[in-house]
Amino acid sequence: MPDDNADRIAPIEQPVAVVTGATSGIGRWIALGLARAGYHVVLVGRDRVRAEAAQAWIAAQVPEAGSEVVIADLSLLAATRAIGAQIAARHPHIALLINNAGAFEAQPVTTAEGHDRVLAINLLAPFVLTRALLPALRAGAPSRIVNVGSSTSDHAHLDPDHLVLGKRWTMVRAYGQSKLALMMTTFALARRLQGSGVVANVVHPGLVATGLVRTGGIIGLAWRCMAPFALTEEQGADTPLHAALAPEFAAVSGAYLKNRRAVSPNRQARDPALVERIWAATERLAEAGGARCA
Ligand SMILES: NC(=O)c1ccc[n+]([C@@H]2O[C@H](COP(=O)([O-])OP(=O)(O)OC[C@H]3O[C@@H](n4cnc5c(N)ncnc54)[C@H](OP(=O)(O)O)[C@@H]3O)[C@@H](O)[C@H]2O)c1
């Protein structure tokens, strides 16, 4: 267990919600929304200063809210597994897991564990963290898992035998494919959880003016030009919060939401056999260590 996360927490009375990427962008507003809704929020971030700033920002607006900070670099699966075990040990009943952390990176980077970093953060970390928290989510049922995907998945194409892009890596392809794979593993999980009281859905938050795109070039320019027309971070949290809290989604599982409504996903995500192959490929990558991204 990382020393960073060794602080002790008193027993919790409120329902527990875990939010990744809670230090900035949409995730910070999701965490605030859950605190306002009466949840004890576990804020997962990679930087303690930013995480404690987000915690203080929430406490200033919702003084009665309980929260705690957990630190991990989610591009590293061992660290992700470790905080999953730590959170589950502290909270045997979890009501909500929001896998929001995500990355859209300009260059392929291979992590110390040998994974493509975009794939690790956007797909493998949610897979590993969800798996670690599943007993607590089952014990906390009715409970919900919300994975923050992206409409870039609408136009992506996946080959289950080549989840790792290698020489075909481009910024847009790596991001879009990771989000399509996240969607498909969400649907596979929803099928596995049928009847358990745990639902799993994937949402597109909209085009939101956040710090997600940290690059120059044509993509950075396009992002900056779109910013005035984009949603605010607070607005971007609306659909994830709707999936997490709205009574009409309490029993909906395996859905793709945009603008608070279930919509039709990418054709590949509607193919149950292909969904299962993506699940198996993700499981192999998550369990076996990395394959070089380039
Ligand atoms: N903005 C959009 O238009 C848009 C559209 C579709 C989908 N999304 C999705 O929405 C989610 C939130 O993104 P955002 O737009 O709010 O962008 P953001 O402001 O960059 O937030 C991303 C969050 O993920 C965290 N994160 C990134 N890499 C991490 C790592 N290795 N370990 C731990 N945490 C990590 C970031 O932490 P730091 O605070 O430390 O950077 C940050 O809190 C992402 O999944 C993104 O793909 C966004």
CB 23 near ligand 1, within 6 Å: yes
- End-to-end CA gap in the chain: 31
Residue 5 has pLDDT above 80, yes or no: no
Phi, psi of 31 (to 5 degrees): -60, -45
* Ligand 1, atom nearest to 99 Cα: 45
Tell me the pLDDT band of 6, cut-offs 50, 70 and 90.
low
Supply the pLDDT for residue 214.
Answer: 77
CB 237 near ligand 1, within 6 Å: no
Give the pLDDT confidence of 156-178 residue by residue, as tens digits: 999 999 999 999 999 999 999 99
Tell me the pLDDT band of 7, cut-offs 50, 70 and 90.
low
CATH fold of 13-285, please? Rossmann fold (3.40.50)
pTM of the model: 0.95
Residue 1 has pLDDT above 50, yes or no: no
CB 111 near ligand 1, within 6 Å: no
Percent of the chain with pLDDT over 70: 94
* Ligand 1, atom nearest to 46 Cα: 33
Residue 294 has pLDDT above 50, yes or no: no
CB 100 near ligand 1, within 6 Å: yes
Supply the pLDDT for residue 9.
Answer: 53
- Residue 240: strand, helix, or coil: helix
Supply the pLDDT for residue 118.
Answer: 98
Give the pLDDT confidence of 21-72 residue by residue, as tens digits: 999 999 999 999 999 999 999 999 999 999 999 999 999 999 999 999 999 9
Indicate the domain borders of the chain: 13-285
Other C-beta atoms lying within 10 Å of the C-beta of residue 277 = 18
Give the pLDDT confidence of 235-259 residue by residue, as tens digits: 999 999 999 999 999 999 999 999 9
Which residue, judged by its Cα, is nearest atom 19 of ligand 1? 25
Instruction: Provide the β-strand partners of residue 262.
Output: 257
CB 153 near ligand 1, within 6 Å: no
Ligand 1 geometric centre to CA of 14 (Å): 26
CB-CB contact of 253 with 199 (8 Å): yes
CB within 8 Å of 43: residues ≥ 6 apart: 19, 22, 23, 31, 51, 54, 55, 58, 67, 68, 69, 70
What is the distance between the alpha carbons of residues 109 and 202, in angstroms, rounded to a whole number? Answer: 26
What is the distance between the alpha carbons of residues 74 and 62, in angstroms, rounded to a whole number? Answer: 27
Kindly give the interhelix angle for 25-36 and 238-245, rounded to the nearest 10 degrees. Answer: 40
Ligand 1 geometric centre to CA of 25 (Å): 7
DSSP 120: I
**In the β-sheet with 198-204, what is the strand arrangement from edge to edge?**
67-71, 40-45, 16-20, 96-99, 143-148, 198-204, 256-258, 261-263
